[in-house]
Structure 1
């Protein structure tokens, strides 16, 4: 795979093939690794912590792949370069010393990799260090003990360091572990879910951080901390029953939230589940989830011409990057290779790969205010969400957290400008404007209610505009109902899923009250359910690099209507699929009375009290 464009020749079915794929990634990094250096330079884009720490990060992130490979008994000729860099980087007398850390320091994040290596390899790692070198490493890592850091998943970094110290026979502090666990207990939500800190979102950090580290700890500390290990395993099992819905049958996951440039870190939870022997799903099912996911990714253009992971999601895209994304950031993805710490004889590798188990079509995750939907007919998975507010206001927060729906196939688009609906990322959103071309949608919610059948959110884009939104899954469709109480005259635009726009290939069918887009990746449809006068149907083509799924322009079907001050009800049905085109005539029916909504499709009804 020279640049990631060609189909990956590696079938990724055996342990050796997975190890070969990781080795290719590491050898690409090695080509950027100067002898004697204490970091890896991977590009000229910048993160808020500057290029020196970014180089240290580039080296450290690679270790999430190096250490499990070595733990599984594989050899890696490049390993000595990493060991030399660690010796030099932690030596205060060396010109490449990584330095003393301060509050909220990025180097505290990277320390987790070294705790991870010490924990997985125990004495097999420390024997490569002299007494002085080991003392330097211990002293440098010990800065995290009482470090001031965000009250979030960062607390696990300090725990991993202490875990590594203990496993490697170095002095460790149980009280430091207890303190960090106590802090994180404050944001356990129940049913296996956490928030990423008090009042923070529920996104992939729960899987690739909280439960990944928790299962590592529970496995390696089962004898020394059995009660906590049992709790962590129990919570992970609860979480797994929900999280399996984020995986589609083709190996894709539903993109949602920040840090999507970490790519296949999305599935690292399942690698940790295999490592821990977590109960709930068979080794064959877990193996299938992980390996299909890796295959999906390595058939995407995610590598540059040198074989380096780019910044982006399913293709390179700097528009989506957060301010903490350096060129080395995507290598968090290597956490998924924890499965290589398992020997060939392990049940994970010996099991026959299995498809996803039969699942009920919908899953309500009340702790996260999400409804997950699996559709065999439309061959994709999607989630309906309440609209979480990321208080740090990272780039494109609204696009990443507050749309109505997120799809494993159609992803979502990003805002590209302040003016005009073309740039406003209207897919899966209701956007409102005071007829001036500047649009507002759902950001924070005043309140949210999640049930087994729907999500209701109340939100206020202006102080005198109040919207209640019901999201109701219904077969391969979902129905949206909005009650808008506005003191302002507004222009409204509501979009469906974003498809790929390719002239001569993509077809747009606009009819009264409905737009159907048929594209190379599938079809997307929005149908107004008003009676008797539907909203005007149309579509918008966004600029290149708007979508996280493809570099081409995106095309979004939408409905538009002007609203005078007063109370208005807007209702529509939205669907997207990969197989046969969605037919507007097949949309659900909606009946609204003074006290209830009734959605019906194929003889099935859902009634919701107002």
Structure 2
């Protein structure tokens, strides 16, 4: 920002409407106010000719020039949505500023000419954003450009034709760009469009879920210099990636492509709408009562871009998959949540982070303008003001209607929420992102954890390399800590979920026979974890609970094999070692969590068995607890006993289960057990 630049505008919100919006008070006018505030706050960072938005922060691996394009393209989409939603009304000429930048960026040899689209480049991503903006606002932007200006824009966009893209959601960026070019007569061959859509079809896995690219890949971007390379030999295992790209990528771009294609896309559009319907049935459960999405996956700085498919459900269907009052409630609650937590910040900017700026959770491909992919979350402004989604009375979220436990078998999630604290927790035994070679550490903390939630984030960054939170680790005699990389799913019934993995370490590698089989069982707010650990004698086993973060250090407490960390607002993370553990601790951190500068992780430790095979049982809690001492937080009413490599668990609503991780049937119902004095009790 210039030293003499005007101060950022203040976010001024209109009066609340508690009649139509009894939960949030927010209306369409609130959405328009936030959109205008985001656009107006960018003025000091726009280049002289308007073709770049250079926001403060370190450059991505694509370099400052492309980062400026990224800032432009993503905010241009918001300007276009705002313009189209207002029927072309633009008294402040917000969209006009971006239109002038469009002309400057596509002027060959001009002082702000954008870099050409090349194989696998970030420019392909941004071209798709520009394309969507032009399509959505076509009567007021594209159609008003002079023919020569249209030709220059089309020429720059045409650089995408025939290019090699990353073998993941990036395929759709090429598809929508080529479809727009076809619609304006700039290209005639639809072969690239059809092949791209066919490629994406290979990644659909069911229940509305797309996997982000194939499991086996050969292309990767080297994190050391950002260049596209091929993997060693025939390729590499990229993992089974399920995350928010399913929401703001696959569903968004397939359905917007269908709108561009018109009659040609009608058959596919019907399929895409049905998939969206299936997806939203599950997706609506991934938001807490305060609107916070579960903190899982990459590109989380996009924040309320997660709302794109929610709005699409009302925009695309005559009979929306979600009731209109629920759609607006969820969307407004989520946007309001981030606004209340400082996004946008005091400058009116969306920094790289979750609430505030948090570089450790930022991917190297993201420049300072990357968070403006959040523009996708404003799609609701394209829906007319008299539509039911804007006029219906807000409804309760699923988490407010009662506790739930929802299996999501396609991505390998078990999601459970509790009404009393409005928390949603995601138990992950399926989705994993394996970093491409030459990286030796192939796990990613936003995918490799056993659990995630709507109010916590994983410990990340160089200051947190030990893998404590929501992780079971083998620790070698030399101190090497194992990673959870490829997750192998194991089918189990109902409110249980299971998987196994080969623990991998640096330095002293565990023998090939090392294996950890894990079963998680939901018991109200608690999760009971049963692990079978196959490892050499003399190693340490360690398991952590949720990382709790706040502005002030959470209060730790330990007793025996029980440990808790508690925030001043009562949010508590606890781990109880029920079998196999010998001690409990709390690890404190600073600057390692997106939810606050101070964090704490309760964890338990034990030793591997002399036989090389042992069972470890723990109970993990994340929830609001008004009590302050460990003894008052300790649970009741669930019983656990262990016999060899089998745990017997009895819990309200569960009956009695025999849990034998690693067995052909890891979980079976048992009706013949009885309570003994050795039972350990948990609450419901």
Instruction: Output the TM-score relative to the length of structure 1.
Output: 0.92
Q: Which residue of 1 aligns with 2:66?
A: 53
Whether 1:538 and 2:585 are equivalent positions in the alignment is yes
SS in structure 1 at match of 2:563: strand
Q: How does 1:74-85 map to 2 (within 5 A)?
A: 74-75=89-90, 76-85=92-101
Which has the higher relative contact order, 1 or 2, with Cα contacts under 8 A spaced 6 or more apart? Answer: 1
Q: How does 1:107-506 map to 2 (within 5 A)?
A: 107-165=123-181, 171=187, 173-199=189-215, 200-219=240-259, 221=261, 223-277=263-317, 279-357=320-398, 358=401, 361-386=404-429, 388-393=431-436, 397-417=443-463, 423-449=465-491, 451-461=493-503, 462=510, 463-487=512-536, 489-500=538-549, 506=554
Q: 1:114 to 1:103 in 2, by over 3 A?
A: same
CA contact (8 A) 1:126 1:168 kept: no
**Residue 412 of structure 1: how far off its partner (Å):** 2.1
**Residue 431 of structure 1: how far off its partner (Å):** 2.1
Q: Which residue of 2 aligns with 1:590?
A: 640
- Identify the range of structure 1 (112-121 vs 271-280) with the bigger mean alpha-carbon deviation: 271-280
Distance 2:563 2:165 in 1: 48
Q: 1:50 to 1:469 in 2, by over 3 A?
A: same
Cα deviation digits, residues 544-569 of structure 1 (max 9, x gap): 2211211x221111111122551111
Q: Which residue of 2 aligns with 1:40?
A: 53
Whether 1:559 and 2:604 are equivalent positions in the alignment is yes
**Residue 476 of structure 1: how far off its partner (Å):** 0.9
- Identify the range of structure 1 (300-309 vs 594-603) with the bigger mean alpha-carbon deviation: 594-603
SS in structure 2 at match of 1:368: coil
- Identify the range of structure 1 (481-490 vs 228-237) with the bigger mean alpha-carbon deviation: 481-490
SS in structure 2 at match of 1:367: coil
Cα deviation digits, residues 57-111 of structure 1 (max 9, x gap): 1111102211111111241423222111111211214232213221101000001
SS in structure 1 at match of 2:144: coil
Cα deviation digits, residues 136-156 of structure 1 (max 9, x gap): 111111121221011111111
Q: Which runs of 5+ in 1 are unaligned?
A: none
Alignment length (residue pairs): 600
Q: 1:294 to 1:180 in 2, by over 3 A?
A: same
Q: 1:20 to 1:410 in 2, by over 3 A?
A: same
Cα deviation digits, residues 163-201 of structure 1 (max 9, x gap): 434555765544332111101111111121110000240
Higher helix content, 1 or 2: 1
CA contact (8 A) 1:248 1:379 kept: yes
Distance 1:58 1:194 in 2: 27
Instruction: Output the TM-score relative to the length of structure 2.
Output: 0.82
**Residue 396 of structure 1: how far off its partner (Å):** 8.9
SS in structure 2 at match of 1:590: strand
Distance 2:529 2:287 in 1: 24
CA contact (8 A) 1:387 1:402 kept: no
Cα deviation digits, residues 205-264 of structure 1 (max 9, x gap): 001110112232344545332211100001111111111111111111101011111111
Distance 2:286 2:316 in 1: 21
- Which of residues 556, 566, 575 is equivalent to 1:508? 556
Q: 1:182 to 1:342 in 2, by over 3 A?
A: same
